[in-house]
C-alpha cells in the first residue's frame, strides 16, 4: 500500500465519521462523536493536513514497518515514517542543531546505559538529587517549551508537552495521570536524579513511590 493509498483510506474513514456526526446532529445539533471516535477523527484531520509524498523502500523494511503498526508502536505507516525522519534530524551528529533541543548549546548524543550507570554509581543518592536539581534549573527543554511553543514549563497545562519532549529524547517511557503520579518505564537516569530534575524544571515537589518492578521509577506530586 502506498502513502497515497493510505491517504485515500484516511479520507474514507473521515467521511464515515462526518456522516455519522451529521446523522446524530439532525436530532441534536449539539451532539458529538464518542470520545474515542472523536480523538481518531482529529488524528485523521491532522494527518490529512500534512503534505503527502511517495517513497520507495525495500519490501523487508515495509514488512518491518507493518509489524510495528500491528504492534501499535505507531498508528500508521505515514506516522512511523514521519517520526523516523524527525528522529534522524534530532540525532544525526553532523547537523545536530538543525532542529529539536539545541538552545544553550545542548546537543543530542548516544551514550550507553553502562557509562551512565558508572557515572552515577560514584554519587550518593543525595548527590544525584542535587545534580538533577541543578540540571533541571538549567534544562534546555525549558527554553524549548518557552521559545518554540510559547508556554511556561511550570504550568500544569504544559506538563504533557514537557514529559513528551523528555520521552522523545531518551529519558524512558513516561506517563502520568490526573492524581499527579508520574511513571517512567526503563528510565535512563536514577530516581533521585529524575526527582531533582523534574522538581526544579516543573517547580513541584515529588515523592518517590516504591515499585516492585526495578525498571520503573514512580514519582507522586506532593499535595
CA distance 190 to 116: 9
User: pLDDT (tens digit, 0 to 9) for every residue of the chain, 223 residues total?
Assistant: 555 667 778 888 889 999 988 888 888 888 888 888 888 888 888 877 776 677 788 999 989 999 988 888 888 888 888 888 877 766 665 554 445 545 555 666 677 778 888 999 999 999 999 999 999 999 988 988 998 889 999 999 999 999 999 998 889 999 999 899 999 999 999 999 999 999 999 999 999 998 887 789 999 999 6
Who's near 15: CB < 8 A, 6+ residues apart? none
**pTM exceeds cut of 0.75:** no
- What does each C-alpha distance from 12 to 27, 37, 74 come to in angstroms? 24, 14, 20
Residue 62 placed within a domain: no
| Domain at 165, CATH number | 3.30.1380.20
User: How confident is the model at residue 98, as a pLDDT?
Assistant: 46
Residue 100 placed within a domain: no
User: How confident is the model at residue 163, as a pLDDT?
Assistant: 94
User: What does the block give as the cell for 218?
Assistant: 514512580
**Judgement on whether residues 50 and 139 belong to the same structural domain of the protein:** no
Query: Are the beta carbons of 190 and 126 closer than 8 angstroms?
Result: no
Structural domain boundaries enclosing 12:
1-54
Query: Are the beta carbons of 193 and 120 closer than 8 angstroms?
Result: yes
> How many structural domains comprise the chain?
2
Residue 103 placed within a domain: no
User: How confident is the model at residue 2, as a pLDDT?
Assistant: 57
**Judgement on whether residues 49 and 122 belong to the same structural domain of the protein:** no
The SS3 of residue 173 is strand
CA distance 73 to 65: 9
Residue 90 placed within a domain: no
**Judgement on whether residues 208 and 127 belong to the same structural domain of the protein:** yes
CA distance 187 to 218: 10
Amino acid at each position: 500500500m502506498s502513502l497515497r493509498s493510505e491517504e485515500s483510506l484516511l479520507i474514507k474513514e473521515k467521511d464515515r465519521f462526518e456522516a455519522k456526526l451529521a446523522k446524530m446532529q439532525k436530532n441534536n445539533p449539539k451532539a458529538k462523536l464518542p470520545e474515542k471516535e472523536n480523538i481518531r477523527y482529529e488524528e485523521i484531520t491532522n494527518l490529512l493536513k500534512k503534505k503527502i509524498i511517495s517513497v520507495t523502500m525495500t519490501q523487508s523494511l515495509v514488512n518491518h514497518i507493518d509489524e510495528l503498526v500491528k504492534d501499535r508502536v505507531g498508528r500508521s505507516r505515514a506516522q512511523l515514517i514521519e517520526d523516523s525522519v524527525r528522529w534522524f534530524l534530532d540525532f544525526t551528529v553532523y547537523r545536530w542543531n538543525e532542529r529539536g533541543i539545541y538552545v544553550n548549546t545542548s546537543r543530542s548524543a548516544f551514550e550507553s546505559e553502562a557509562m551512565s550507570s558508572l557515572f552515577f554509581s560514584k554519587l550518593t543518592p543525595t548527590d544525584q538529587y542535587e545534580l538533577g536539581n541543578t540540571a533541571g534549573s538549567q534544562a534546555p527543554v525549558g527554553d524549548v517549551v518557552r521559545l518554540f511553543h510559547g508556554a511556561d514549563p511550570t504550568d500544569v497545562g504544559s506538563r504533557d508537552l514537557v514529559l513528551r519532549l523528555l520521552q522523545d529524547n531518551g529519558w524512558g517511557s513516561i506517563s502520568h495521570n490526573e492524581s499527579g503520579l508520574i511513571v517512567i518505564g526503563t528510565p535512563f537516569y536514577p530516581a533521585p536524579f529524575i526527582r531533582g530534575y523534574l522538581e526544579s524544571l516543573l517547580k513541584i515537589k515529588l515523592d518517590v513511590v516504591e515499585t516492585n518492578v526495578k525498571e520503573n521509577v514512580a514519582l507522586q506530586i506532593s499535595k
